[in-house]
Amino acid sequence: MTEISMAQALNAALRDAVKDDDRVLIFGEDVGPLGGVFRVTDGITADFGEERCFDTPLAESGIVGFAVGMAMGGFRPVVEMQFDAFAYPAFEQITSHVAKLRNRTRGALSLPMVIRIPYAGGIGGVEHHCDSSEAYYTHTPGLRVVTPGTPQDAYDLLRDSIDSPDPVIFLEPKCRYWSKETVSFTRDGAAMDRAVVRRAGKDVTLIAYGPMVATALETAEAAKAEGWDVEVVDLRSLSPFDDETVTASVRRTGRAVVVHEAAGFGGYGAEVVARVTEQCFHQLHAPVLRVTGLDIPYPPPKLERHQLPDVDRILDTVARLQWNDEPAVAGA
C-alpha cells in the first residue's frame, strides 16, 4: 500500500493490465512517449514498447473505429479521448457500433474495450476542454459507464473495466487527478457495478459521483455545524445503476439530494431522482432535490466557479428539504 494520486493509480492499473494480459493495448493521441496530457500513460511506452502503447493520428472517430476492429479480433484495447468534448467526433462510432455490436450479432461478437475520457471541470480549461457528457453515454444501451471518485477506485474500476467483456466508458474526473490517498493493489474492493457508502449518516443522503464525491464529503463535514448527520453515497457505476445500495440509504435517511456538475435539465440526476422517488416514495419525508451545473454552455475559466456545485450550494439545498417530520394534513 502506498499514497499516490489518482493519475498515478490509473497509470498503475494500466501497467498491471498490460503486464498481466498480452491482449491489452493502449493507444490514442499523445499517450505514447509524452505519456498523455495528464501523464496517465507516463512511461508505459518506454517500459512495454510501442507495440503495447502507441500514438495515433488526431482523429477520434478513427481511434474508436480502429479499437472496434481490434476488439473484434480478440484484443482488449484501451483508448484515450484526451478531453471530454474531443470525444464527440467519435460519438457515432460509440453509439452505432461499440454499443450495439453484441446485440446486432445476437451475442456472437463482443467488444471488450475501454474508452477513457477525462471529463468535467475544475481545472480552468478553455472551450472544448471541459464538459460533463455522462448523460449521453448512460442513455445509450449496451455501454457500461463508470467514474471513480477516489484514487483507490480509479485503480480498481479501471482494472475491472479492462477485464469486462462489455465496452466501458471510463470517465476520469480531471480535477481529481492530483488528489491522493493510500491505495491497495489487491483488487478486493466493491464490484464495478456497485455503489458504496462513503460516509454513514441518518438525516439525509447525498448521492454523488466522480468529481463531486469529495465535494459531498466536504459538505457532510460542514453540515455538522447545522445539526445534520449526512450520509454520502458514491455511485461509481452510472450504468448499470445500483438501485439496491442507493435506495437502502434513502430509506434509512428519508431524504436525498443528488449532486453533479452537468447541467440540470435532462441531466443524469433526473434519472436518479426518478428511480429513488419510485422506489422510496413512502419512506421519503421530502421531495428528492438536485444540485447541478447551470443550464448553459460550459463557461470560460474565470467564471467556472459559478458553474460548479460547492459546499454552500449543497447546504442551501439540504436546508430546503422539509425538516418537519409531521405528515401534512389534507386541506390544512
- Tell me the CA end-to-end span of the chain in Å, nearest whole number: 60
Contacts for 106 with CB less than 8 Å, ≥ 6 apart? none
Round to whole Å and give the CA distance between 205 and 229: 9
Name which of 62, 10, 13, 16 is nearest 36 in CA terms.
Answer: 10
Cell of 214: 469529495
Residue among 129, 139, 260, 282 flagged as catalytic: 129
**What sign does the dihedral 109-138-246-146 (CA atoms) show?**
positive
129 catalytically annotated:
yes
In degrees and rounded to multiples of 5, residue 52 shows phi and psi of -110, -25
Positions annotated as catalytic residues are: 129
